[in-house]
Amino acid sequence: MDDLRQKYLAAISGAADEAALEALRVEAVGKKGEISLKMRELGKMTPEERQLAGPALNSLKDEINSALAAKKAALADLALDARLKDEWLDVTLPGRPGPAGTVHPVSQVTEEVTAIFADMGFRVAEGPQIESDWYNFDALNMAPEHPARQEHDTFYMAVPEGANRPPHVLRTHTSPVQIRALQGQGAPIRVIAPGRVYRSDYDQTHTPMFHQIEGLAIDRDISMANLKWCLEEFVAAFFGVEKAELRFRASHFPFTEPSAEVDLRCSWVDGQLKVGEGDDWMEILGSGMVHPHVLRAGGIDPDQWQGFAFGIGIDRLAMLKYGIPDLRAFFDSDLRWLRHYGFSALDVPTLHGGLSR
């Protein structure tokens, strides 16, 4: 009996897992287990022998059962410990990683400009990037023989042989959206139209695709004074200065009369742009009072309505505001550039929350 005790106690204490333990239980005290079989032999013993062997077998069975239970509990504890170690979680870690991407400066500046003009009651209008040459030129008072057409370095879409449709171009400016917005909404109207434009040009300050934002405000009595106020408000808010000083220089655009190019008073200190002070002037946009021909092309009676329009280069605004030297890098998709100049995807520019952080 001592041999049995030693054999099973040693095996139980060495059992590696619950399955091994269960096998041992069956082998020792199961119905056909070694100890159970021994107990059946009690019947064949003399009463004296039985008196000795019975209690001894019973206590051996108890001893083995409690060793099994103790080992089972110990194994469960071990398993729990292992799980706790394995599934450990640091609840003090940040819940989510920050967004991996950044907002491109062009998108950022578009949002900023849109926020500023939205605050002045302008809504966003859109037009197609592949535009008929009527919208891109004719409707804007640029007849086919108009010399300004040549200045635009236009990309023309191929017209298939025998196709009976008007020529299309990649729009060379956002001005055609003026016509579409007038046709769609009529007057009075206040819209801005940000978007891509295309010209065949490539150097440090020109890329074949770039971005403009068009502005249009038409009502009964809108004048150059309203244009000047709007642009001053815009520039001050955009560059984050108390007051911006603008200079209106007489110019010529076919779609406005009179026309003005607008310069911004600034200075360059150690290559850093300072707006609103200094002795330099920097051209930032073209503008004017919308030409009667343009209003008519948009379906508006120029004897009833008048207003201003302007066009700004978004990429150039981004270069100036954020000190980005080369326009071409904007469109290289270089991750290092995007990470360096990109903006947090979760900071949406607003006038009350701040335009850029």
Residue ranges in contact with ligand DAH by CB under 6 A: 173, 175, 214, 253, 256, 286-288, 309-311
Q: In angstroms, what CA-CA distances link 53 with 7, 39, 49? A: 18, 9, 6
Closest contact distance (angstroms) between CB of 163 and ligand DAH is: 28
Buried residues in 271-303 as b, exposed as e (16+ CB within 10 A): eebebbeeeeebebbbbbbbbbbbbebbebeee
Q: What are phi and psi of 152, to 5 degrees?
A: -85, -5
Instruction: Tell me how far, at minimum, the Cβ of 198 lies from ligand DAH, in Å.
Output: 11
- Phi, psi at 41, each rounded to 5°: -70, -15
Residue type, 250: A
**67/309 with CB nearer ligand DAH:** 309
Residue facing ligand DAH at closest CB distance: 311
Nearer to ligand DAH by Cβ, of 191 and 266: the residue is 191
**Smallest separation, CB 287 to ligand DAH (Å):** 5
Closer residue to ligand DAH in complex, CB, 57/306:
306
Identity of the residue, 108 or 259, whose beta carbon is nearer to ligand DAH in the bound complex:
259
Sequence-distant (6+) residues with CB within 8 A of 60 are: 1, 4, 5, 35
Amino acid sitting at position 38: K
CB of 232 to ligand DAH, least distance (A): 16
The label of the residue with tokens 């008196």 reads 51
| Helix, strand, or coil (residue 125) | coil
List, in sequence order, every beta strand (DSSP E) within the chain: 102-103, 123-124, 130-132, 168-170, 189-198, 209-219, 246-253, 256-269, 272-275, 280-290, 306-313, 343-344
Q: Helices 18-29 and 2-14: crossing angle, nearest 10°?
A: 160
Question: Smaller CB distance to ligand DAH: residue 149 or 173?
Answer: 173
Q: Nearest distance from residue 286's CB to ligand DAH, in Å?
A: 3
Class of residue 50 by CB neighbours under 10 A (exposed 0-12, middle 13-18, buried 19+):
middle
What is the C-alpha to C-alpha distance for residues 113 and 237, in angstroms, rounded to an integer?
9
Cβ closer to ligand DAH: 253 or 305? Answer: 253
Structure tokens at 272: 């850093």
Between 21 and 314, name the residue whose CB sits nearer to ligand DAH. 314
Strand partners, 156: 169
CB of 249 to ligand DAH, least distance (A): 12
Output the smallest distance, CB 191 to ligand DAH, in A. 11
Q: Which is nearer to ligand DAH, 111 or 214 (CB)?
A: 214
Q: Which is nearer to ligand DAH, 309 or 318 (CB)?
A: 309
Give the nearest distance from C-beta 290 to ligand DAH in angstroms.
7
To ligand DAH, the closest distance from the beta carbon of 201 in angstroms equals: 12
